[in-house]
Amino acid sequence: MNKKTILITGASTGIGKTTAQYFAEQGWNVAATMRTPEKATGFEAFTGIKLYQLDVTDEQSIARAIDSVIKDFGKIDVLVNNAGYGAVGVFEKATKEQIQKQFDTNVFGVMNVTRHILPHFRANGAGTLINVSSMGGRLTFPLYSVYHATKWALEGWAESLQFEVRQFGIRIKNIEPGAIKTDFMGRSMDVFSKPDLIAYDTYEAIATKNTEESYKSAPDSAVVAKTIFKAANDSSYQLRYPASGQASLFLFLRRLLPLGIFNGLVRLAVEKGFKN
Ligand SMILES: NC(=O)c1ccc[n+]([C@@H]2O[C@H](COP(=O)([O-])OP(=O)(O)OC[C@H]3O[C@@H](n4cnc5c(N)ncnc54)[C@H](OP(=O)(O)O)[C@@H]3O)[C@@H](O)[C@H]2O)c1
């Protein structure tokens, strides 16, 4: 049987890296793409993984990487739009550049890579496009307004796109992780800062502390890699896959409860200790 090939963006660390390793263990050809492959570690033991340079904000690097992967493996069966990061904090402290960069990566980056892969998928009469969205693409927490806006954008975009491409045998799948232990909360995070603006200080400190506290019990990225594997092998046209127990529970409650009640629970958790 011919091996299937998956291309993953943002595979240097976290969910992308674990997904690359997991698919290689299952016998897939893996094109692990990243901004700086020369710095990559942890792939040496996997003969099925090949590294490629790809920055989702750079069209040339996208075209070059996709062409190389097709030359090396014959075709691409699955694309995972995983690259992304969080630009977070009090919205009033965000600069225009920080907001622009967040959308350039999390939204326009995904659209860039997708525009480049669709002709290939159409020509093959098959292809699965998997977006690493977030449970935060369908519900919200304080201090994440810009990040949420990007993930909500992905959810609406994917929900519409699936109508157009289904006729070509192309499946769209959004993976919706809850909190996952990766570099997301560390070196990848862009925190809005405006030292002169002190009006939000108490709120910001409390909400940040409570959010960080909740991340301590987050699972590692294996749960997401396994969900991506399930979606990649699912021949149905199911669009959404919550990834982690937390994501399943929170998305269930968000559907079940009126928004005012759900957001009351969010405030109880994230604003615990804040007196208004
Ligand atoms: N961790 C969570 O709690 C969580 C929850 C829900 C959804 N997610 C989503 O999961 C995805 C992966 O994040 P993660 O948690 O695995 O965090 P991570 O460990 O920080 O990984 C993020 C990856 O994205 C890459 N990246 C950033 N900008 C890029 C660009 N312009 N072009 C190509 N790659 C770029 C980073 O590359 P460099 O190494 O070059 O910086 C890194 O490989 C993101 O889309 C995130 O929004 C995460």
Atom of ligand 1 nearest to the CA of 188: 20
User: Could you report the per-residue pLDDT of 120-150, keeping only the tens digit for each?
Assistant: 999 999 999 999 999 999 999 999 999 999 9
Nearest CA to ligand 1 atom 41: 188
Atom of ligand 1 nearest to the CA of 35: 40
pLDDT (0 to 100) of residue 160: 98
CB 137 within 8 A of CB 250: no
Which tokens belong to 48?
């099925």
Name the helix (H) or strand (E) containing 204: helix 201-215
Residues with a catalytic annotation lie at 147
pLDDT (0 to 100) of residue 143: 98
Q: Is 88 in the pocket of ligand 1 (CB under 6 A)?
A: no
Q: Ligand 1 centroid vs 86 CA: distance in angstroms?
A: 8
- pLDDT of 152 over the 80 cut: yes
pLDDT (0 to 100) of residue 276: 81
- pLDDT of 1 over the 80 cut: no
Q: Ligand 1 centroid vs 244 CA: distance in angstroms?
A: 17
Q: Is 242 in the pocket of ligand 1 (CB under 6 A)?
A: no
Mean pLDDT of 47-68: 98
Q: Is 36 in the pocket of ligand 1 (CB under 6 A)?
A: yes
Mean pLDDT of 202-230: 97
Contacts of 171 (CB under 8 A, 6+ apart): 127, 128, 129, 162, 234, 235, 236, 237
Residue whose C-alpha is closest to residue 77's, from 7, 149, 139, 136? 7
Atom of ligand 1 nearest to the CA of 54: 33
Name the helix (H) or strand (E) containing 268: helix 259-270
Domain borders along the chain are 5-270
- Other Cβ atoms closer than 10 A to 163: 9
Q: Is 15 in the pocket of ligand 1 (CB under 6 A)?
A: yes
Q: Ligand 1 centroid vs 184 CA: distance in angstroms?
A: 6
Q: Ligand 1 centroid vs 261 CA: distance in angstroms?
A: 31
Query: CA–CA separation, 202 vs 194, rounded Å?
Result: 14
User: Could you report the per-residue pLDDT of 13-31, keeping only the tens digit for each?
Assistant: 999 999 999 999 999 999 9
Q: Which CATH architecture has domain 5-270?
A: 3-Layer(aba) Sandwich (3.40)
Query: CA–CA separation, 83 vs 100, rounded Å?
Result: 16
Sign for the pseudo-dihedral over CA of 36, 37, 39, 43? positive
pLDDT (0 to 100) of residue 243: 98
Mean pLDDT of 251-273: 98
User: Could you report the per-residue pLDDT of 111-121, keeping only the tens digit for each?
Assistant: 999 999 999 99
User: Could you report the per-residue pLDDT of 32-50, keeping only the tens digit for each?
Assistant: 999 999 999 999 999 999 9
Q: Ligand 1 centroid vs 85 CA: distance in angstroms?
A: 5
Query: CA–CA separation, 85 vs 262, rounded Å?
Result: 25
pLDDT (0 to 100) of residue 221: 98
Query: CA–CA separation, 62 vs 58, rounded Å?
Result: 7
Name the helix (H) or strand (E) containing 131: strand 127-132
Q: Is 48 in the pocket of ligand 1 (CB under 6 A)?
A: no
Q: Ligand 1 centroid vs 14 CA: distance in angstroms?
A: 7
Residue whose C-alpha is closest to residue 66's, from 2, 19, 124? 124
pLDDT band with cut points at 50, 70 and 90 for residue 165: very high
Residue whose C-alpha is closest to residue 223's, from 173, 155, 172, 177? 177
Q: Is 32 in the pocket of ligand 1 (CB under 6 A)?
A: no
Residue whose C-alpha is closest to residue 16's, from 202, 145, 188, 258? 188
> Candidates 12, 58, 241: which one to mutate for ligand 1, based on the most atoms within 8 Å of Cβ?
12
Sign for the pseudo-dihedral over CA of 232, 240, 143, 153? positive
Chain-wide mean pLDDT for the chain?
98
Q: Is 52 in the pocket of ligand 1 (CB under 6 A)?
A: no
Atom of ligand 1 nearest to the CA of 16: 16
Q: Is 179 in the pocket of ligand 1 (CB under 6 A)?
A: yes
Q: What percent of the chain has pLDDT over 90?
A: 99
Contacts of 61 (CB under 8 A, 6+ apart): 53, 54, 55
